[in-house]
Structure 1
Amino acid sequence: MTDTFDNNKQIIKRELRHMMEHAEALMDATAGEFDERITTARTLLQDRLDSAKDDYDKLEDNVMDKVQ
């Protein structure tokens, strides 16, 4: 049971990391765009990325606390 949980945790962790990497690549690719829709989308995406990174760090800390 623990192995399955650990495997699922690793899969989710890897997928979250990939999504954040792709979102950051999109931010970089659209850095020079000044269309209002793109600017708004970039701002919202950056806010979500920052929030997701914070949540991810907290989740990782909680997992590490449980392991120890």
Structure 2
Amino acid sequence: MPAFLTEDLAADWLTPGPVEGEEWARLLADSAERVADGLEVYEVDRKVNSTRSARWDDPTLIEPASNA
């Protein structure tokens, strides 16, 4: 499962050391909510799922699909 981390929490997440489970659960929940508020969801072109018609570095893969 992915963890949605704010930039300030990412550094703490990557720092080795003991983890307080309840504290991290609270921090992750708060961080996930803040990150999710900034996400934008939109449909993309079907070529995203095709290994034949698209290159992995094609910038149009992340553009919203045109429903024309």
TM-score normalised to structure 1 length = 0.40
Q: If you compute each CA radius of gyration, which structure gives the higher value, 1 or 2?
A: 2
TM-score normalised to structure 2 length = 0.40
Name which structure has the greater RCO, CA cutoff 8 Å, separation 6+.
2
The structure carrying a bigger helix percent of its residues is: 1
